[in-house]
A and B are shown apart, each in its own frame.
Chain A
Amino acid sequence: MSAFLAWIATLPALAQIPLVLLAFFVVIALLIFFIEIAPRSGRKYTIIRAAACVLIPTFIFLTLGSVYWAAGAAAVFGGLFFILDYRSKQGAGYLFQLVGFMSPAIFLLAIGLIYPTIQTTIQAFMNSRGTRFVGLENFIWIFTQDTGIRTVLNTVVWVLIVPTVSTIFGLAYAVFIDKSRGEKIFKVLVFMPMAISFVGASIIWRFVYAVRPAGQEQIGLLNQIVVWMGGQPVDWISNSPWNTFFLIVVLIWIQTGFAMVILSAAIKGVPAEQLEAAELDGTNAWQRFINVTVPGIRSSLVVVLTTISIASLKVFDIVRTMTAGANETSVIANEMYSQWQGFEVGRSAAFAVVLFIMVLPIVVYNARQIAKQREIR
């Protein structure tokens, strides 16, 4: 495989796309073909199945460039798998189909998410080169020096402000434009930043924040407004601690559209009868909103809040492009990358673990929700 990939890399960029897609589809078509004929009975199909069980793992290991005995071991396991499958309670070929469907995804998840997560966790307790166990030293380093504490605090500020503010703005906007004329256009205008990359958004906002010395004509919109009001131009993204808030504005700008679309759909799902009944009881618009609409869209609110929380915990691109973490604006994801670039693998991994621990409560909550839903089914 590495030979194939190396060969394809020598081609011009646009020629690589059809070739690699073609190769991919051939492999998938073969896989589906084998899955299809797997449960058929008869000696012919049994032999094909046995051959596939032994040869495919061998072939995979060989193409991954592994040593011969590993490929041999794979063949033996393939044979064992065939026997297991042959005697399966659900009939021969059952396990074969199951593994055929699942193995690409499970294999990729194992090497790409599960193994690295374990690896990173181990590295967080090792020194910078990963050769010696140092216990909690990396974590102590993070939480004892000013930049480390600052970084973690900044991340906490991000995760407190962005979800609340974007949800409030999104909800308010969704309510304001609900059933109004030109609702679609209104939606698109606010939703558009979702399609813009964080890098693009950062450049857009750096331009808004651009500063010129007092007396010169301003080119940044925000400073121009300040000057029109009679104030002095301010260097928004250099002055700590407020600069973090000006970076946060960018993410709010992006995420409000997301909150708005989801909540707008949820609001339309609130039964009109309930609103009417509340109106007959003599409530005003605000009371109806708080007591009828908000409870009605509670689950959507939770989804929006958790999704945006995760996004703001992981925020990286904005900080990287706007300040690269200078002037006390760094966040965990950015610091993790900087440490890795400075060959401090242990500290970098420790930052990643801190991030993981911060995300964990949200994971547990969401997973439990899903578990509940699946039980209902």
Chain B
Amino acid sequence: MTATVPAKLPLNKKTKKQLARGENGAAKRTKKRLTSRGATIAALVIAVLWTTPTFGLFVSSLRPPEEILRNGWWTIFQNPGFTLNNYTEVLAAGNSQLNLAGAFINSIAITLPATIFPLVIASLAAYAFAWIKFPGRNWMFIGVFALQIVPLQMALVPLLSLFSRGLSIGDIEIFSSLNASNSYSQVWIAHTIFALPLAIFLLHNFVSEIPSELIEAARVDGAGHGQVFFRIVLPLTMPAIASFAIFQFLWVWNDLLVALVFADGRVAPMTKLLAEITGSRGQDWNLLTAGAFISILVPLIVFFALQRYFVRGLLAGSTKG
């Protein structure tokens, strides 16, 4: 073991910063010319344009209903007023079977299992695609990838009838219905299925990059595929799994279409109820702004807390695709 001692060079602050950024002076100069003052201003304008709508929503959700309807949120300083009533009111709003507070719980109950199921099942399949040789492996993998782009819309209705009526060929029943309307199970299964192609594809990219020496060594030591998967592959791909988990979480939480078809009545998630409220009470801006802000709160927390993984997963998925 030889430790490399870093040479002590006389550095001024600026050079230190440049070294920290991992670039030499010339490269910096070249790049710097690209970011002129005009560009910075343009970037600022875009940033403001992109944030203002969300900001306006947030400000409005805290204003009293009369004020929201009387004047714009940008006049908050001329017409001050602050209340949390919108939030308490919208949590109690909804339809005959469900209010928004219940829908919030539903969203959680739908999202957590629907995030974990596809990840586990996909990592099993990804392992097989990467480390078990079998004829037709490449073609099957490409087939799974291609399934990713079958529009959800193609699958929704037949899947629903499969859930509610079972499958029969002619008059012969192969298996009976799931009998699961008004429960979460349909939504869980639907989300799991729709997430699988992308999940298998992404996780495969990571699983196949594990050094083969590592896996062979374990095999020589007598571990079967089960142990290799559980003790080596799973821990090593945890970062990838985490980043996809965030994705899937946001996707399920934000989904409307699957919820409209599979989650009816009292198991509906927040997106569905909010869309309904928008349709029936579209001018009650105090309710809509507060409701929308509640629904985007959880994704925003997840997003800001785990941003690093999120971006990493995004990059892995797309630069390799």
User: Mask for A2-43, Cβ within 8 A of B = 1, else 0?
Assistant: 100110110001101100110011001001111111111000
Q: Are B124 and A101 in touch, CB under 8 angstroms?
A: yes
Q: From known contacts A199-B256, A204-B54, A370-B142, infer whether A17 and B43 are also in contact, taking CB-CB under 8 Å.
A: no
Residue B235 is within 8 A (CB to CB) of chain A in the complex: no
The complex places the Cα of A256 from the Cα of B149 at a distance, in Å, of: 21
The answer to whether A105 touches B162 (Cβ under 8 A) is no
Q: In the complex, how many residue pairs between chain A and chain B have their CB atoms under 8 Å apart?
A: 401
Number of interface residues of B (CB under 8 A): 131
Q: Which residues of A contact B83 (CB under 8 A)?
A: none
Closest Cβ–Cβ distance, residue A255 to chain B (whole Å)? 12
- Return B248 CB to nearest CB of chain A, in Å: 13
Tell whether, in the assembled complex, residue A303 and residue B30 are in contact, meaning their CB atoms are under 8 Å apart.
Answer: no
Closest residue on chain A to residue B223 by CB atoms: A36
- The distance from the CB of A94 to the nearest CB of chain B, in whole angstroms, is 8
A28 contacts across to B, CB distance below 8 A = 120, 124
> 9 tightest A-B contacts by CB?
A36-B226, A112-B193, A9-B183, A197-B254, A272-B27, A101-B128, A116-B158, A105-B125, A195-B303
Which residue of the partner chain, among A97, A194, A321, contacts B132 with CB atoms under 8 Å? A97
| A203 adjacent to B291 (CB under 8 Å) | yes
Smallest distance from the beta carbon of A18 to chain B beta carbons, Å?
9
What are the residues of chain B within 8 A of A204 when measuring CB–CB? 53-54, 56-57, 292
Q: Is the CB of A224 within 8 A of B72?
A: yes
Q: Contacts A258-B314, A313-B151; is A266 near B69 (CB within 8 Å)?
A: no
A-B contact pairs, 10 of them (CB 8 A): A25-B120, A105-B122, A116-B156, A123-B158, A186-B47, A192-B303, A203-B278, A204-B56, A206-B278, A285-B34
A residues less than 8 Å from B288 (CB atoms): 203, 206-207
Binding site for A on B (CB under 8 A): 23, 26-28, 30-36, 39-40, 42-43, 46-47, 50-54, 56-57, 60, 68-74, 105-106, 108-109, 112-113, 116-117, 120-122, 124-125, 127-128, 132, 134, 138, 141-142, 144-147, 149-159, 162, 166-167, 173-180, 182-185, 188-190, 192-194, 196-197, 200, 224-227, 229-230, 250, 253-257, 260-261, 271, 274-275, 278-279, 282, 285, 288-289, 291-292, 295-296, 299-300, 302-304, 307, 311, 314-315, 318-321
Q: When the two chains form their complex, are residues A111 and B302 in contact, meaning their CB atoms are under 8 A apart?
A: no
| B111 to A, closest residue via Cβ | A17
List the B residue with the shortest CB-CB distance to A284.
Answer: B33
In the bound complex, CA of A286 to CA of B119 (Å): 44
CB neighbours (8 Å) of A208 from chain B are 53, 56
Other than A300-B318, A303-B319, give 20 A-B pairs with Cβ distance below 8 A.
Answer: A5-B185, A17-B113, A21-B113, A32-B226, A67-B174, A104-B121, A123-B158, A177-B35, A199-B254, A206-B278, A206-B288, A257-B50, A265-B319, A272-B26, A279-B30, A289-B34, A314-B153, A356-B150, A370-B141, A370-B142
Residue of A38, A180, A219, A359 ringed by the most chain B CB atoms within 10 A: A219
Q: Is A114 part of the binding interface, using a Cβ–Cβ cutoff of 8 Å?
A: yes
Pair B180/A5 contact, Cβ less than 8 Å: yes
Residue contact A262 to B138, C-beta cutoff 8 Å: no
Assess whether A320 is interfacial by the CB under 8 Å rule.
yes
In the bound complex, what is the Cα–Cα distance between A332 and B152 (angstroms)?
A: 12
Expressed in whole angstroms, the Cα–Cα distance for A220 and B177 within the complex equals 49
Q: Which residues of B contact A345 (CB under 8 A)?
A: 157
- Give chain A residues whose Cβ lies under 8 Å from the Cβ of B257: 316-317, 333, 337
- Assembled-state Cα–Cα distance A353/B192 (Å): 23
Binds B, one of A132-140, A141-149, A167-175: A167-175
Is A189's CB under 8 angstroms from B275's CB? no
State in angstroms the CA–CA spacing of A177 and B189 once bound together. 42
Kindly name the residue among A186, A189, A307 whose own CB sees the greatest number of chain B CB atoms within 10 A. A189
Q: Is the CB of A13 within 8 A of B106?
A: yes
Stretch binding the partner chain, chosen from A51-59, A238-246, A360-368? A360-368
Tell me whether A186 and B197 are in contact (CB under 8 A): no
For A336, list chain B residues within 8 Å (CB).
153
Specify which chain B residues have a CB less than 8 angstroms from the CB of A35 in the assembled complex.
224-226, 229
Answer whether A111 and B56 are a contact pair too, CB < 8 Å, given A5-B185, A175-B34, A197-B296: no
* Residues of A close to B134: CB separation below 8 A: 98
How far is the CB of A277 from the nearest CB of chain B, in Å? 10
User: Chain A nearest CB: distance from B232 CB in Å?
Assistant: 13
- Chain A residues near B120: list those with CB within 8 A: 24-25, 28
A5 touches B183 (CB 8 A): yes
Pick from A14, A179, A199: contact of B109, CB under 8 Å: A14
Q: Given the interface contacts A105-B196, A112-B159, A116-B157, does A70 sit within 8 Å of B151 by beta carbon?
A: no
Contact B51 A189 (CB under 8 A): yes
**Which listed residue (A34, A221, A285, A367) contacts B52, Cβ 8 A?**
A221
A20 and B142: CB pair below 8 A?
A: no
| A205 close to B (CB within 8 Å) | yes
- Residues of A in contact, count (CB < 8 Å): 139
Task: Please determine whether B256 and A197 come into contact, CB atoms closer than 8 angstroms.
Answer: yes
Query: Are A304's CB and B47's CB within 8 A?
Result: no
B146 neighbours in A (Cβ, 8 Å)? 363, 366-367
Question: Are B224 and A262 within 8 A (Cβ)?
Answer: no
With both chains docked as a complex, state the minimum distance between the C-beta of A136 and any C-beta of chain B, in angstroms: 18
A311 to B139 alpha-carbon distance, docked (Å): 25
Which residues from chain A contact B175 at a C-beta distance below 8 Å?
61, 64-66, 70
Digitize A113-135: 1 where CB-to-B-CB distance is under 8 Å, 0 elsewhere: 11111011101000000000000
Contact between A190 and B46, CB atoms less than 8 A apart = yes
A316 vs B278: C-alpha distance when bound (angstroms): 15
A47 within 8 Å of B (CB atoms): no
**A310 in the interface (beta carbon within 8 A):** yes
If A179-B35, A253-B53 touch, whether A262 touches B318 (CB-CB below 8 Å) is: yes
Give the complex CA separation of A192 and B318 in angstroms: 19
B34 contacts A105, C-beta separation under 8 Å = no
Q: B320 — nearest CB in chain A belongs to which residue? A: A373
